[in-house]
């Protein structure tokens, strides 16, 4: 957010509230929130449709750092959410109900920038916390990682510090997490952050990423990198994650538009075919010996519906052509 703790930064929170609402997002992670406890209470009282879990910088909460997870109270079971601060101002973890009998644990991070040793230590500390068993391992890790795993994610392309990459990889392997966007776009080049220097060459990078538990990747779809409208130098990364118990939804049921009965020609066709159907059904009822596996009330009814659907398609297609000619 590049600062969202001062009252003059109110419009940023207006945008956050709007993005969550209009985008129907279940949750969103924010970095550089600069929120004090007092300011957090003010925001929570102002925006009723979101629940903000924030971890401020321990020394200067209103001037630097701060990481938050914002829940959409209309989309998730936020009342029972459990929040854990992993590293003050740098990493926060929230556990919520996700579906009927599933829980989702999400960790939002804001890794140190400009210092490879601090960035490396950040990941080492997280790995120790999650590996100790005292804190539940996350299903999702997302946020500003301030590092990339491969040169493809930087322009100009170059590899990051080897120690940082190794420490980060150990965390992801320990939690069995994968870079979902890269899995969905193995060869694509896109960036989430761009520098804005005036007297030197600018660079771009994909330092904002979402890592999802490997076993959940098949439940993920619609990976996007997009602008948000908030005054920030970062783009937003998003994904649609369904619950484990979501049933399969097929192509849906074919229907005929009701307006088609406004046309006398089709009404006459429908009545004619309906009478034929009625005669066949009566005949089968009065002469059950004529019933076979290929000729029975069920097959006759199915054939009638299929013929009606195809005739309706052809009728509407011809009607559209006639209108174009007019």
Residue 233 among known ligand-binding residues: yes
- CA 239, distance to chain mean position in Å, is 3
- Sheet bearing 27-31, strands edge to edge: 27-31, 67-72, 50-55
Cβ(13)–Cβ(54) below 8 Å? no
| Residue 290, token pair as written in the block | 């004529």
Residue 144 among known ligand-binding residues: yes
Q: Considering 34, 153, 208, 234, which one is annotated as catalytic?
A: 234
Residue 190 catalytic?
no
Q: Considering 57, 139, 144, 179, which one is annotated as catalytic?
A: 144
Q: Which of 32, 36, 30 is nearest to 15 (CA)?
A: 30
Residue 222 among known ligand-binding residues: no
First to last CA, the chain: 55
Residue 144 catalytic?
yes
The residue whose two tokens read 């929040």 is 83
Q: Which of 55, 51, 48 is nearest to 5 (CA)?
A: 55
Q: Considering 47, 110, 191, 211, which one is annotated as catalytic?
A: 110
**Around 317, how many Cα atoms within 13 Å sit in the side-chain half-sphere?**
6
Contacts of 184 by beta carbon, 8 Å cutoff, 6+ apart: 220, 223
Residue 32 among known ligand-binding residues: yes
Residue 34 catalytic?
no
- Coil, strand, or helix at residue 152? helix
- CA 108, distance to chain mean position in Å, is 15
Residue 158 among known ligand-binding residues: no
**Residue positions in the annotated binding site for Mg(2+)?**
32, 144, 146, 233-234
Which residues does the annotation mark as catalytic? 110, 144, 234
**Residue positions in the annotated binding site?**
32, 144, 146, 233-234
């Amino acid at each position: 957010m590049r600062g969202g703790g001062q009252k003059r930064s109110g419009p940023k929170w207006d945008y956050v509230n709007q993005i969550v609402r209009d985008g129907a997002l279940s949750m969103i992670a924010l970095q550089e929130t600069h929120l004090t406890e007092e300011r957090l209470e003010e925001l929570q009282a102002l925006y009723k449709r979101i629940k903000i879990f924030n971890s401020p910088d321990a020394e200067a909460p209103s001037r630097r750092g701060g990481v938050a997870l914002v829940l959409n109270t209309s989309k998730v079971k936020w009342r029972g959410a459990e929040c854990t601060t992993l590293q003050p101002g740098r990493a926060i973890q929230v556990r919520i109900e996700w579906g009927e009998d599933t829980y989702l644990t999400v960790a939002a991070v804001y890794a140190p920038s400009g210092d490879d040793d601090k960035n490396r230590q950040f990941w080492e500390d997280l790995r120790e916390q999650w590996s100790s068993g005292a804190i539940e391992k996350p299903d999702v890790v997302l946020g500003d990682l301030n590092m990339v795993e491969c040169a493809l994610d930087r322009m100009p392309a170059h590899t990051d510090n080897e120690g940082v990459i190794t420490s980060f990889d150990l965390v992801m392997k320990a939690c069995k997490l994968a870079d979902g966007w890269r899995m969905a776009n193995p060869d694509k080049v896109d960036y989430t952050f761009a520098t804005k220097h005036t007297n030197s060459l600018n660079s771009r990078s994909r330092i904002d990423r979402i890592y999802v538990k490997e076993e959940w990747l098949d439940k993920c779809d619609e990976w996007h990198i997009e602008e948000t409208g908030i005054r920030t130098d970062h783009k937003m990364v998003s994904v649609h994650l369904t619950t484990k118990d979501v049933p399969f939804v097929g192509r849906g049921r074919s229907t005929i538009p009701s307006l088609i009965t406004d046309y006398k020609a089709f009404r006459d066709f429908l009545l004619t075919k309906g009478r034929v159907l009625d005669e066949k059904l009566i005949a089968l009822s009065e002469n059950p010996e004529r019933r076979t596996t290929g000729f029975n009330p069920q097959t006759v009814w199915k054939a009638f519906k299929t013929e009606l659907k195809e005739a309706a398609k052809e009728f509407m297609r011809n009607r559209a052509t006639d209108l174009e000619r007019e």
